[in-house]
Amino acid sequence: MTDAWLLTVLSPMARAAFYLLAAVTLAGALGVTLTRNLFHSALWLAVTLLGVAGLYLYLGAEFLAVVQVLIYVGAILVLLLFGVMLTARIADPAVPALNRHALLAALVALCTGWALRLAVRQAAALPAGPVAPVPLETLGRGLVTTYVLPFEVLSLILIGALVGAVVIARPERRS
Amino acid sequence: MIPLSHLLTVSIGLFAIGLFGALSRRNAIGILMAIELILNAAALAFVAFNAYGIPAADRDAALGQTAALFIIGIAAAGAIVGLALVLAVYRHQRTIFADDMHLLKG
């Protein structure tokens, strides 16, 4: 099983698939930031999220890929689309999509990316190759043993966010 | 075999594009989307390190994937609260452009 997985990863076809996935992911991200129409932006975000899910699959994290599709594409993206459609003047081409600091923002992003790339290149010892994928059982067991406290805190955060969102978004009572 | 640095480069690219979007989009929902890109970049880096065996101990073998799960959960919470805030501001100010929200400007 493990050997078969390693063989799949090592084969040139999987290699080509990886670079294709990476290109799709980055192109989608560019679409998210540069598209004028916010609705199209959200659709490009779906492309990026699915690309990242594919990368998770490539890395042997099948469960995370499924979670990514279910939670991100299924829930968060639909929520964002609702937000897009609830607010008017989205698709108006006369409204500029970027603010007047766009050039400065591009400079900051480029410098940050360059610095991070430099850090990766100068890292002392990156591991040479992938190891056998983590079985799902290890992930699940960790969630209810070692990481049970962060897990519970996360559920509290979600409850707090839900209640807070309802309170914030509720129309005000006229008194 | 893909070197880990290539995976990290994809993650860095996602992060930089998301940072650019978060700094330059006028629409508040666009900024939220760019922040989702940044969170995805971080999660991808976590999973990549995990797949290349960075937490080597048996007990922490799934640490990177666990972190990515937590990131997805926190991203959901962030998106919910962010959208609620955007809707509340839109109701009061009739705008969702971040550079038109200058109520606190002196």
Average pLDDT, chain A: 86
In CATH, what number is assigned to the domain containing residue B94?
1.10.287.3510
Q: Which position has the higher pLDDT, A12 or A121?
A: A121
Contact A117 B10 (CB under 8 A): no
Contact A138 B99 (CB under 8 A): no
The C-alpha atoms of residue A87 and residue B86 are separated, in whole angstroms, by 9
The C-alpha atoms of residue A144 and residue B53 are separated, in whole angstroms, by 22
Q: Which position has the higher pLDDT, B56 or B68?
A: B68
Could you tell me the residue range of the domain that residue B18 belongs to? 4-100
Tokens read off for A160 = 């707090």
**Share of residues in chain A with pLDDT > 90 (%):** 46
pLDDT tens-digit profile of A71-118?
999 889 998 888 888 776 655 666 677 777 889 999 999 999 999 999
Whether B92 maps to a domain, the answer reads: yes
Whether B70 maps to a domain, the answer reads: yes
* ipTM (interface pTM): 0.90
Confidence of residue B41 (pLDDT cuts 50, 70, 90): very high
Nearest partner of A33 among B56, B47, B36, B73, judged by Cα: B36
Q: What are phi and psi of B98, to 5 degrees?
A: -65, -30
pLDDT computed for residue A49 by the predictor: 95
- Residue B29: its chain A contacts at CB < 8 A? 38, 80, 83-84, 87
Q: Which position has the higher pLDDT, A77 or A131?
A: A77
pLDDT computed for residue A1 by the predictor: 52
Return the minimum-mean-pLDDT range out of A53-67, A88-102, A155-169, B22-36. A88-102
- Residue B77: its chain A contacts at CB < 8 A? 157-158, 160-161
In B, minimum Cα distance to A123 occurs at: B5
Is A94 an interface residue toward B (CB < 8 Å)?
no
pLDDT tens-digit profile of B2-29?
888 899 999 999 999 999 999 998 888 8
Q: Which position has the higher pLDDT, A25 or A8?
A: A25
- Percentages (nearest 5) of helix, strand, coil residues in chain A: 75, 0, 25
Query: Is the per-residue pLDDT at B57 higher than 70?
Result: no
State pTM to two decimals.
Answer: 0.89
Q: What is the mean pLDDT of residues A39-45?
A: 91
The C-alpha atoms of residue A131 and residue B79 are separated, in whole angstroms, by 34
Do A65 and B20 form a contact (C-beta atoms < 8 A)? no
Residue among B34, B60, B98 minimizing CB distance to A32: B34
Whether B57 maps to a domain, the answer reads: yes
Number of domains present in the structure of chain B? 1
Whether B56 maps to a domain, the answer reads: yes
pLDDT computed for residue A121 by the predictor: 87
Whether B105 maps to a domain, the answer reads: no
To the nearest whole Å, the CA of B106 is away from the closest chain A CA by 20
Q: Which position has the higher pLDDT, B29 or A174?
A: B29
- Residue B14: its chain A contacts at CB < 8 A? 25-26, 29, 48, 52
Whether B106 maps to a domain, the answer reads: no
Whether B74 maps to a domain, the answer reads: yes
Q: What is the mean pLDDT of residues B48-64?
A: 79
Q: What is the mean pLDDT of residues B28-53?
A: 92
Average pLDDT, chain B: 87
In A, minimum Cα distance to B19 occurs at: A109
Is A86 an interface residue toward B (CB < 8 Å)?
yes
| String of DSSP letters for B52-102 | TT-S-SSTTTTHHHHHHHHHHHHHHHHHHHHHHHHHHHHHHHS--BGGG--
The C-alpha atoms of residue A63 and residue A40 are separated, in whole angstroms, by 28
Whether B86 maps to a domain, the answer reads: yes
